Structure 1
Amino acid sequence: MKRFYHVVAIDIRIVLNTFGDHNEHGKIYILKENVDKVRKAVEKNPFTPVDLVEPLCIRANKGDTIEILFENQIKTSAGMHFQEADYDVLNSDGANVGFNPNTLVKPGEQILYRLTANHEGIYFFSDLGDPDSSDDGTNINGLFGALFVQKMGSTWTDPVTGGPLNSGAIADVHHPFAPSFREFGFIFHDEMPTQDITGNRPLDPVTNQERESTHAINYRYEPLQNRKKLIEEGVVCPDCEGEEVHHDSWVFGDPATPIYRGYKGDPVKFRLVHGGVKETHVFHYHVHTWFRDPQNTESNIFDAQAISPQNWYTIDVLYGLGSLQEAIGDAIIHCHLYPHFGVGMWALNRIFDTLQDGSQCYPNGIPIKPLQPLPDRPAPPRPTKERPGFPNFIPGKVGCKAPRPPLGIVGGRGLTELERNAAVPTARPGAVFTDPCIIEENPIVQEFNVSLIELPLVYNREGWNDPKGRIYVLDEDLDDILAGRKEPEPLVIHMNAGTCLSVNFTNRLNEVAGGDAFQLVTRTYEVGFHVHFVKFDVLVSDAANVGWNYDSSVLPGETIRYEFFADTELKAWFLHDHLFPNYHQQHGVFGSGNVHARFSKVLDSKTGEEVQSGAQVTVTHPLIPDYRDFSLFVQDFTLLFDKNGCPLEPPEFPGSEDDPGLFAVNYKNEPLQFRLGEDCDPAYSFSSFVNGDPVTPILNCYEGDPIRIRVLQGSQEESHSFNMHGLRWKAERPDSETSFVCQEHIGISESFTFELAVPNSGDYLWTFETEEDLWNGCWGLVRAFDEEVDFLIPLPDRPDPPKRTKDLPVCTGKPPEKAKLVEVDAPPNAPVKRFDIVAFHIPIPYSKWGEKDPFGIIFALRKDVKAILAGKKKIQPLIIRANQGDVVEINLESRLEFDQFPFPDGIWPYPPVKEQAFYPPSVRISLHPQLIQYDVKSSAGETVGFNPDQTVGPGEKITYRWYVDLPVGACGLWDMADIRNHRSLGTFGMLIAEPRGTQTLSQKTLKPVITTDRAIIKQPF
């Protein structure tokens, strides 16, 4: 089918909220038929959002040919560049690239683009005429949109009228042979230049400083600062602080950001797009979950998804609106990065239980727009006086904070008559309007008594500390933790799939938190125990204050009962406070629940006794292999002081969220600046022989043990990159056909479970491997023992380890002995590919305009060094190639010289890191590989823990042996002898592992080559 759209790019004022925040220089795509309408509407409402001002969302079906007549009415050349679509790059690229014809359009002109939709999904489009990220660029000012492609034969309608719909972010999509669904376009974007209603940059009313840059959804945002100003001016809720009611419609009415409406059980797809120019965001959707790959039911289940600019995902929600338990109420959807969330990057999903035909109003008198039921689903019941439906049975007062939930708070109130009519027959504390545990017949009931407390947290041996640490603890551990008999760690509770969880949560914090160099005095008088993944009644157990829901938090000294259902083995689910997270989550207010297979037992790894909590435990099962279970929480914005009380990396002024504080894992960090040893050589910073073991988690196991590492981000804004050296896991844990990986990007609230087997004894480095994370101490060890130790029980279903015959190694303060080459576990007749590699200094040119790094260091084959130094061979990263079944032998030497490094004072300023310190360059070098197999004690290319020395100095040589057991593709190679002074200068490369029998041929000669960045690959089959 052929579809035609006449699209116009126009300049227009974009008003982002009802407070009048606006972008005077906004630019949007819009259908030609709506141009005059939108201009008149904006002229009539200069400081009020206009519905037609939204990112253009158009639709087509798989197989359609789409013609776009693009008309440019902005002042610069522009176009529409489609991603995912099939088109002729010579006439429909919407760009001016290389020697292609220019398919941009000058002001006042038109062009016809033709494209084909060959698959379902999201086809993002944006302007490539001026994609600059400055305030003058087109993308930053709004020139982006999306084409949503449906199943062949689909139609779409307006959810309000039921009539045809030519464009719009929200639609109902229908198909003759598939269920109808709600389709919600959800487009993150950031950095849009914004002015307040007075024409000035928006200010924070508390600090009187410019607030965080704009972070928006569909050209709308609803900042805390705007709403807080109404409290300070006495307009609403005089007893409120601000953050705890940021999302409360009882106080402020509904936000300007999108409200995605539906009826419980409605099928729904979110079309998630990042149309912005800078930040990574994390899409989190309360109550609901989805498969990472909607086409693969064996892929991982998510409820949070990191997304970067020019990226997109289809969120095909499992079980429909309200999830499996069919919850009703307001489910918030937001970027989980707290500064972004706080500045207004949130929206609501409103789930009704009664028919909305336009006859009802919200509690504040605003009419509720009609909402057409999906035609293939039963219509919900009509509202009555006795059963008005959500939100009109909730006994709130407009202008005041949302009411507390019935039944849940110990000593609190019961049900009103309207609430009783709306409640389920099994109503009880924590499960009043939805019963999540009724999903399972006779579920296991597990009860936890949890408190939130404040105490000092010491992060390392140098005395870096958070004097106002705040953590969740089990009440049974409260006295031991406060007395120092038990080490604080993030709370990890354990349960089996099919468990109904009852959590009695007590707020033991003071009402007011004191100020310091990082934060202002803040009244954090309400807190909660908000969970991800598991099923619950969103109205009373969300532990939040959202929309027209109840405020399901507790005051100091109060206890509330929440109820959750762990319906399936959901890896690890995140938990945190949702009332004042911007203030205190970075103080440690986070944890997780780990859901194991039914019939599992969780044991203390030292004593073998059954336990219900712990970041390191042993799990046994009658049918599946027993395993070690480890939980790691990476943190940023961690607000620390040194042992003398001086703040570490404070912001420019208290209350600023401009990247304050440091980084840590599980309330600990092991900064490299303190691990230089007597010889001040960074090559041994990870060595336990030289510096002792890190204070960060050491994950103990025996060789051969299966392990599961749960990786979560507890706080607060940054992205992190988890890397496991020497071990790997399947990218999609339930799917045995998926590829192996050893690295995972993570943003706050995301959760990953990695299933691995530890093949041999030794110390394996785990790390969050951006340079700044490593520098600040976000690393630790997986330690596999080959003989019995008295602090680790063997796994019951595995042979007992041998009795100990040798002493455990200890710190000596001296570098370890040199590694002795151990044969890799490969077939005896495996072919060997040998590479003689040299690390040496050479200036690296980066452009034809003379930009270069005069202090470059590269890896190269020894046979090529002379030609490279003479300028006869191109300088490029080392790229070597091997096939499945090959043994790769690396003979490495260092030609580094101390005098060739810049900044001989030992303080290397680039890239900038927090807590810069003396860290002189090392002349030792190493080469560490990803994904392939090797012995960690001899060929890991790093000196880690109590492993031998695997670095090499000038005049020395070392040999590594690696085995390519699988065609894993690109494997990163880099130096681990000096992460601060080497890698940014060029000490990295790649091993490409191809299928067995592959021939790698020169593009020029067609002769075999072993190192090149461009090749012809000839496969045997």
Structure 2
Amino acid sequence: MELYQYPTRQKCRLYEIEAIEIPIVYNKYGDYDPNGLVYVLKKDAKRIQEGAWRNFSQEIPQPYEEVKPLVIRANVGDKVKIVFTHSLNRSLSIHVQGLGYDVQTSDGACVGYNRDSTTKNQIIYTWYANREGVYSFQDMGDTRSGEEGTNVHGLFGAIIVEAAESRWLDPETGAELESGLFADIYHPVHPAFREYAVFFHDELEIKNKDGNQPIDPHTGLPSATTAISYRSEPMRNRLPLTEEHADTGEDISMSSWVYGDPAPPILRAYVGDPSKIRLIHGGVKETHVFHLHNHQWKLEGDNPNSTIIDSVSLSPQECFTLDILHGTGSLNRTIGDVIFHCHLYPHFHEGMWTLWRIYDRLEDGTGKLPDGTKIPPLMPLKDRVLPPKKDKNHPGYPNFINGTFGERPLQPPFGILNADGSNKIEPTKLEEKNFVENFRPGALYSDTCPCHTDRCECECETKEKIKVFEIALIQAKIVYNHFGWNDPQGRFFVLKEELEKHGGLDSYIEKVEKGTICVEPLVIRANAGDCVEVRLTNLLPEYIEESPFQMKTKTDIVGFHIHLVKFDTIVSDGAANGWNNIAGARKYETLIERFFLDTELRAVFFHDHLFANSHQQHGVFGALFVEEAGATFHDVSTGEELKFGTKAVIKRKDGTSFREYALFVHDFALLFDKNGKPLNPPEVPGSHDDPGVMGINYRSEPMPERLKKDEDPAYIFSSFVHGDPSTPILETYPGDEMMIRLLDGAHEEQHVFNLTGMNWKREVSDPASPDVASQTMGISEAFNIHITSKYGPGDYLYYFGGIDDAWLGLWGIIRSYDQPKKWLKPLCKGKDQILPLPPCPGKDATIRKYEVAAIQRKILYNKHGDHDPDGLIFVPLEELKEAFCENYQPKPLILRANAGDWIEVVLHNLFDFDNPIQYFDYPRVPLDMKHKPSMRVSLNPQFLRYDPICDSGVNVGYNNREQTVGPGESKKYLWYADKEYGACILQSFGDMRNHRYHGLFGTILIEPPGAKWYRNFSLSKALYEEQAVITAPGVENFRECVVLIQNGIRLLDKDGVLIRTASGEDGEVPDAEDTGEKGYNYRSERFANRLEKDSRIARVFSSKIHGDPATPVFKAYTGERIVFRTVMPADKPRNVGFAIHGCQWKEQPDDPYSREIPIQGAISVGNTFNMELKDSICCPGDYLYRSGSLKWDIESGMWGIFRIMKHGIGNKCRNVCRRVVDCMCRGK
């Protein structure tokens, strides 16, 4: 029964789906999940079960082709009926994210007071396909994260909504397709395209062919497995070709010449085919980084101003559509094997990679690969020119590549120079017949630089000009800070001319190790339209020597893999993927590669791809900055033209200029202290269990070292107390335009960049994108932080917000001088010079005044007794007496102001001298040390304008005004809200390590100009409420729900026992970033507490059985405008997601091109979101809001209920607030 119908649709599409349990075999080596759970079409269930068991019963279990995540399709406007059945003796469901449905009948969950829409046998769901896109579905009957759960075993899938009137056909046969990962999509008007559904998933419960836990053959340690679409190709199974123990075979581990093709499904297309990748995260824990080689897409596919990217962070249950620019083969129509993978290297290592094969000739099903495998047919898209047929001289990729199956791939012809400069590899006659007409070294099979041939079809200012970079890769000891932390086997790129300038390699290394040369990641620059040739010479030792971090590892060949630019995939990828050549240089050899910079790509990442997992964490990364055409690059001190460097002044053609800085964050830095002691080594050398520390540009300023001076943590960032940090100081003058090119160089962790006192547009080229003051990122992602906001003189703190990151030294200073410095040349100012903030409010200004107290008190997180006895909170001063009552329920501080207001906050520190804040070693941080926590507090707002010296709330650098408040003291802060920012985090910089996880944070909400704020169901003013009604002139009224996400809370149960929901693998200690509990707004609703009353996991969200959760129950009426203000002020760097069942919102609120999403992923400390729900909610009921990560967020308490009520039934709002002008209930 459907309580509320969506508008009648023209077509009802029926799918009968069954959940079955089978062994899922992940590869030809026999790795399998014995308890696999999959959705299948009911008509296919028996055949798939029989086939799966038949293949599993072989001597080495083999994958069954038809065991794939279920992907179904519909058209925009369709009504989709799902008849779901199973016979597995447990409650299961199908919950879809992003489509319309009645939450009472089709949610696939048992939430609040809704009907139970899980089932032990059969149930019917009705969905409404409102918008094009890809939408994930999964079981919500068992959301546990461990082996007993369902999602981890594969119970997920997706529905793709195509444009109205589209059809989907089988790519191999051309027949109508009912389900499948891959399809060819045809439309009466629009061009046909290839469509590929790609699922990333993690935390697999895998056995090897013998039924045991897989073991890494090099380390002897248990080996994890990550997967793509129920298949995985972990490096542990691709053994090296030699018996040498130091030979891991990493350089050839992705080569089909040695091992054949990988197990995960291979995407296939003809060069030039329009293509879309539908990317889905079906996993339960990690935020992965999807990276596709040599192809790009726009963050917002239809937005001409949107950022061009080739890597994206992807959290559990998120989906993306990647509309590939220029089709397969990209702009330069390259052919060959294009790899895509998770860029987090341990995940790559554990099997999360596969290929996109681009053909140059027609594949009709008769061809074979070099290993004898039959090539399946591939139907050409019907509206495109037929690919040419094969002939004797053109056998089609890869059969013209010189090589022998079972042996190492060969280096590219003309692409390798010997030590004496001579060419090493000559092409075979067959290879040469397949070269393009205008081939060059590094560009044999595709015309990489069309602007540099006689067939130029584009405008190019630099025709016939090739920009050549001669680069060497070398090893030297790198010292990270003045405390002596160092990497004795540091590896980095350097221009060869720098080696010559300093007397050769040995002399250069000596100067680096003496500290007379300051090494940073190599940054080179070029312009849009340039053709770039890179010549990389390998000057590395052939081995990484054994250490407490690593086993002795052979690294005898290196490549140069670059992002975003265009190149010939077969010979210039810097890798050895599929049937391509191995594009790498052995010792003293030089690799030649060629790239085309087709547009202003800005920050472009490069690194070695052959031994990335072995040595990228030692520093093997850099960047090419692609500036606008005609721009020039200059030294910040002299103004002379600059060849390389992390700091520059960029002069545009129009005469304006800006300061440019490169910041590379990196983790797994394998460092030793000044006495040679390893810093955070793994238990066993070679383990990927979060070894080492972190850095910025090969530098760090670790908090534990500063705290050894026994100084108050309130001055941890003070240069007066500790001197300037070793990390980069970004120097500027007030009002100078700045561009921070932010990149993640290594190795596994997600990070989040924060900056005090400044903000920027999320997309540098899109003025409609939202203002942000933080940026989450993963390895290989690059962001462009364009500072055009007003700022004055002083020191500003930049830092990475997760406490593990900041603790290990990921922070630094932006220094804005009030007087000229001889080492910093002023910019040429343009007509739009940025002016600093006025020093004080004008006489007509609105000044909002607040008084806030910081107090110590117990925080009770739920009715089950989970609590933080050492809680630290901000409270409005007028609530102080109440706040010390036993029955007071603390809530995070929520302030409000309007755009255009000045905000005056007086902060009172009421901490008790006789009750000093205690140090706790849990939740833990790497390299923790016992120290005395600070009793000082402060308030720092995101986004708002203020004087950094007087009103920032941060004692940073050489700012000379005290910004923190000691016990018994008070301080007045003055801030200005220049825009309607929505949610802004308030945090204390008195002691990041010891205050945040106890609750010392808040938020200030900047509402529309002239807004009034009311309690959710009354006329009283809502100054501090987490639910409110906002009215403003010229703005539709809305209900506001405020969510503060907490990750890493120290909680004790009712008996005073420390709670540790997260557990490590096989009883091991969990990663530091996974310690601590989860919740919202000082409340948490752990599964463990609810399951004590009723152990049925499918009912764990039920209010009928357990009562409402402790987390906020937000309330509204049908048809209302709703805005969620969602922020993450604390504390751990592990990314989370935020989903609301049955709802969508614009990812970028004011951008007309923004995609609409049902879940926001990659949320970390410092992130803020203003989520206006799309379309009025028309169905009453209880809507679950939660994290998307099942491991361990939801079971640790990170979920709550959004309750939608029907108008006219006990409607207090109608009775109470109808007198408000333009009340949102008026007329309903």
Q: Distance in 2 between matches of 1:727 and 1:127?
A: 42
Q: Is the 8 A contact 2:655 2:830 kept in 1?
A: no
Indicate which of 485, 489, 493 corresponds to 1:472: 493
After the TM superposition, which residues 769-848 of structure 1 pair with which residues of structure 2 at under 5 Å, given as runs?
769-797=801-829, 824=839, 827-848=842-863
Q: Distance in 1 between matches of 2:572 and 2:719?
A: 46
Aligned to 2:600: 569
Aligned to 2:560: 529
Aligned to 1:852: 867
Q: Is the 8 A contact 1:824 1:962 kept in 2?
A: no
Inter-CA distance 428–766: structure 2 relative to 1 (3 Å threshold): same
Q: Distance in 1 between matches of 2:92 and 2:811?
A: 47
C-alpha deviation, 1:1009, in angstroms: 2.5
Ranges in structure 1 where 5+ consecutive residues have no aligned partner: 802-821
Q: Is the 8 A contact 1:154 1:173 kept in 2?
A: yes
Q: Distance in 2 between matches of 1:661 and 1:240?
A: 23
Indicate which of 953, 958, 964 corresponds to 2:971: 958
User: Is residue 2:568 matched to residue 1:557?
Assistant: no
Indicate which of 122, 136, 139 corresponds to 2:134: 122
Aligned to 1:81: 95
Q: Distance in 2 between matches of 1:712 and 1:827?
A: 41
The code of the aligned residue for 1:887 comes to W
Q: Distance in 2 between matches of 1:402 and 1:501?
A: 26
Aligned to 1:15: 25
Indicate which of 889, 894, 897 corresponds to 1:882: 897
Aligned to 1:219: 230
Inter-CA distance 98–401: structure 2 relative to 1 (3 Å threshold): same
After the TM superposition, which residues 936-1015 of structure 1 pair with which residues of structure 2 at under 5 Å, given as runs?
936-947=948-959, 948-1015=961-1028
Q: Distance in 1 between matches of 2:44 and 2:843?
A: 72
Q: Distance in 1 between matches of 2:708 and 2:37?
A: 57
After the TM superposition, which residues 606-1005 of structure 1 pair with which residues of structure 2 at under 5 Å, given as runs?
606-623=637-654, 625-676=656-707, 680-757=711-788, 759-797=791-829, 824=839, 827-871=842-886, 873-901=888-916, 903=918, 907-947=919-959, 948-1005=961-1018
1:953-995 Cα shifts (integer Å, max 9, x gaps): 1222111111111111000011011101111111100001111
C-alpha deviation, 1:624, in angstroms: 5.8
The code of the aligned residue for 1:840 comes to I
The code of the aligned residue for 2:442 comes to G
Q: Is the 8 A contact 1:823 1:961 kept in 2?
A: no
Q: Distance in 2 between matches of 1:954 and 1:239?
A: 58
User: Is residue 2:483 matched to residue 1:462?
Assistant: yes
Q: Is the 8 A contact 1:444 1:498 kept in 2?
A: no
Q: Is the 8 A contact 2:872 2:999 kept in 1?
A: yes
User: Is residue 2:293 matched to residue 1:249?
Assistant: no
Q: Is the 8 A contact 1:11 1:73 kept in 2?
A: no
User: Is residue 2:38 matched to residue 1:24?
Assistant: no
For the residue of structure 1 that corresponds to 2:882, the secondary structure is helix
For the residue of structure 1 that corresponds to 2:406, the secondary structure is coil
For the residue of structure 1 that corresponds to 2:763, the secondary structure is coil
1:214-256 Cα shifts (integer Å, max 9, x gaps): 210001000101111x64679xxx9974100110000000011
Aligned to 2:350: 343
Aligned to 1:377: 384
Q: Is the 8 A contact 2:22 2:53 kept in 1?
A: no
C-alpha deviation, 1:571, in angstroms: 1.6
C-alpha deviation, 1:823, in angstroms: 6.4
* Number of equivalences: 992
Aligned to 1:817: none
C-alpha deviation, 1:1014, in angstroms: 1.0
Between 1:18-27 and 1:95-104, the stretch displaced more is 95-104
The code of the aligned residue for 2:884 comes to L
Q: Is the 8 A contact 1:824 1:961 kept in 2?
A: no
Q: Is the 8 A contact 2:898 2:1011 kept in 1?
A: yes
1:320-371 Cα shifts (integer Å, max 9, x gaps): 0011111100000000000000011001000000000012100111111000
Q: Is the 8 A contact 2:714 2:989 kept in 1?
A: yes
RMSD of aligned residue pairs (Cα, Å): 1.7
Aligned to 2:1157: none
1:49-106 Cα shifts (integer Å, max 9, x gaps): 1121111000001110000000013231101001101111111111111111111111
Q: Distance in 2 between matches of 1:854 and 1:44?
A: 57
For the residue of structure 2 that corresponds to 1:462, the secondary structure is coil
For the residue of structure 1 that corresponds to 2:192, the secondary structure is strand
User: Is residue 2:194 matched to residue 1:182?
Assistant: yes
Inter-CA distance 872–202: structure 2 relative to 1 (3 Å threshold): closer
Q: Distance in 2 between matches of 1:1009 and 1:40?
A: 62
Q: Distance in 2 between matches of 1:295 and 1:273?
A: 20
User: Is residue 2:276 matched to residue 1:269?
Assistant: yes
Q: Is the 8 A contact 1:501 1:565 kept in 2?
A: yes
User: Is residue 2:164 matched to residue 1:155?
Assistant: no
Inter-CA distance 899–262: structure 2 relative to 1 (3 Å threshold): farther
Aligned to 2:474: 453
Aligned to 2:1219: none
- In percent, how many aligned pairs have the same letter? 45
Indicate which of 152, 175, 179 corresponds to 1:167: 179
Between 1:731-740 and 1:668-677, the stretch displaced more is 668-677
1:914-948 Cα shifts (integer Å, max 9, x gaps): 11124311111101110121111111111111112
Q: Distance in 2 between matches of 1:241 and 1:673?
A: 36
TM-score, normalized by length of structure 2?
A: 0.79
Indicate which of 284, 292, 301 corresponds to 1:294: 301
C-alpha deviation, 1:612, in angstroms: 1.9
For the residue of structure 2 that corresponds to 1:140, the secondary structure is helix
1:191-226 Cα shifts (integer Å, max 9, x gaps): 110000000000011122211x22100010001011
Inter-CA distance 514–42: structure 2 relative to 1 (3 Å threshold): same
The code of the aligned residue for 1:218 comes to S
Q: Is the 8 A contact 1:498 1:568 kept in 2?
A: yes
TM-score, normalized by length of structure 1?
A: 0.95
The code of the aligned residue for 2:873 comes to I
Q: Distance in 2 between matches of 1:201 and 1:899?
A: 53
Q: Distance in 1 between matches of 2:517 and 2:436?
A: 42
The code of the aligned residue for 1:471 comes to F
For the residue of structure 2 that corresponds to 1:774, the secondary structure is helix
Q: Distance in 2 between matches of 1:694 and 1:200?
A: 49
Aligned to 2:1191: none
C-alpha deviation, 1:280, in angstroms: 1.0
1:457-483 Cα shifts (integer Å, max 9, x gaps): 001111111000000000112254422
Q: Distance in 2 between matches of 1:198 and 1:954?
A: 63
Aligned to 2:1033: 1020
Q: Is the 8 A contact 1:833 1:889 kept in 2?
A: yes
After the TM superposition, which residues 274-289 of structure 1 pair with which residues of structure 2 at under 5 Å, given as runs?
274-289=281-296
Q: Is the 8 A contact 2:916 2:935 kept in 1?
A: no
Aligned to 2:65: 51
Aligned to 1:812: none
Aligned to 2:530: 499
C-alpha deviation, 1:825, in angstroms: 5.8
Inter-CA distance 893–177: structure 2 relative to 1 (3 Å threshold): same
For the residue of structure 2 that corresponds to 1:282, the secondary structure is strand
Ranges in structure 2 where 5+ consecutive residues have no aligned partner: 1-10, 418-422, 452-457, 503-507, 1035-1228
C-alpha deviation, 1:304, in angstroms: 0.2
Q: Distance in 2 between matches of 1:280 and 1:476?
A: 40
The code of the aligned residue for 1:165 comes to L
1:375-398 Cα shifts (integer Å, max 9, x gaps): 111111001111112101001011
Q: Distance in 2 between matches of 1:57 and 1:428?
A: 43
1:886-922 Cα shifts (integer Å, max 9, x gaps): 111010111123543454xxx5313211111243111
Indicate which of 148, 153, 165 corresponds to 1:141: 153
